[in-house]
Amino acid sequence: MVLTTTANTFILQNKLTTHINIVLSNLQSYHRPQSISEALALLQKNSGTMSIIAGGTKLLSSRNDTLRELVDINGLSLSYIKEDLGVIRVGATTTLQRLVGSPLIQRLYGGVLAKAAQLTRPTRMIRNLSTMGGELVTSNSLSVLYCLLLALQAQVRIAGGEEFALAMNIFLNKKDLAGGLLMEILIPHLKHHTYAGLASIATTEKSTPVICACVRLSLRNRTCREVKIALTGTKKVPQRFQAAEARLEENKLSNANIEMVAESVYKNYKPVADALASQEYRKETCRLVVKKALLQCLESAEEEMVA
């Protein structure tokens, strides 16, 4: 990031896409802390006129006239993908394109995490800028990445008065913690005989999916355990469907049971309407994406047994 000023107007230019200028006419201060403690000290003084910046993609559409200060966290060494003690640690400023290209992420859960990053931001240029932390903090109802992390039971690590970890569904309600800084995302490794699936519907290859289903489950003696099912297109952010999960828990992953679970999701799914799709369209297609995602798990399990 570089920052220039012209006639009291701040222009933020990204080094990767220098043709994109973000004009911030009300900005008064630009900070680039070099340590976590320095960043937290700045954030604790936030009176509502300060914003964190990493990739800068969210500022492109920002119309916040109250914004006075920017805290650029690109100097905090939070861009990494590490394997550690049964989890994958992804730093908050890691770009989505780095996720897509990482061999480790490509292998994890059969590549669904890399696919989710690609679907969340279908354009590579934007993925080169958009960060994991930025996407999660500003998640909306169509975020495939948030949906998958919800199904995978990922956690986020936050630094504030003290460091602590939050499950994704709790982070949903506490992501605006004053003075806190999202540090990294913790993604659990697959346990033995655990599978994940992702199925979506989009109008074009370069558009955000209209609807997406993400699932994760374990199979023990062909019986389902630890079932997690999440869908996009719900109010505010993607949500899990615990009633449907319970229907499959302790049951066989058969075609008949997959149909039963898809019907349970249909009964409980309350989609939103937007420029991409109506409520009716999402309602009618939710069965299809749930079945496809669960069938992916079944196919993976069958391939593993043959191998």
d(CA 6, CA 190): 52
Nearest CA to 255 among 200, 295, 288?
Answer: 295
- State the pLDDT at residue 24: 60
- State the pLDDT at residue 236: 86
CB neighbour list of residue 118: distance below 8 Å, 6 or more residues apart: 96, 100, 127
- State the pLDDT at residue 163: 61
- State the pLDDT at residue 41: 86
- State the pLDDT at residue 73: 86
Per-residue pLDDT of the chain (307 residues; tens, 9 = 90+): 444 444 444 445 554 444 444 556 677 788 888 998 888 888 887 777 777 877 766 665 556 667 778 888 888 999 999 998 889 999 999 999 999 999 999 988 889 999 999 999 988 988 998 999 988 888 889 999 999 999 999 998 888 755 667 777 777 655 555 557 889 999 998 778 899 999 999 988 888 999 999 999 999 888 999 999 999 999 888 999 999 999 999 999 999 999 999 999 999 999 999 999 999 999 999 999 999 999 999 998 888 776 5
Q: Model's pTM, two decimal places?
A: 0.86
* Angle, CA of 106, 109 and 113, to the nearest 5°: 60
**What's the CATH code, domain 81-188?**
3.30.465.10
- State the pLDDT at residue 9: 46
Residue type, position 97, single letter: Q
What is the CATH architecture assignment of 194-306?
2-Layer Sandwich (3.30)
The full set of domain ranges for the chain reads: 2-72, 81-188, 194-306
d(CA 108, CA 87): 10
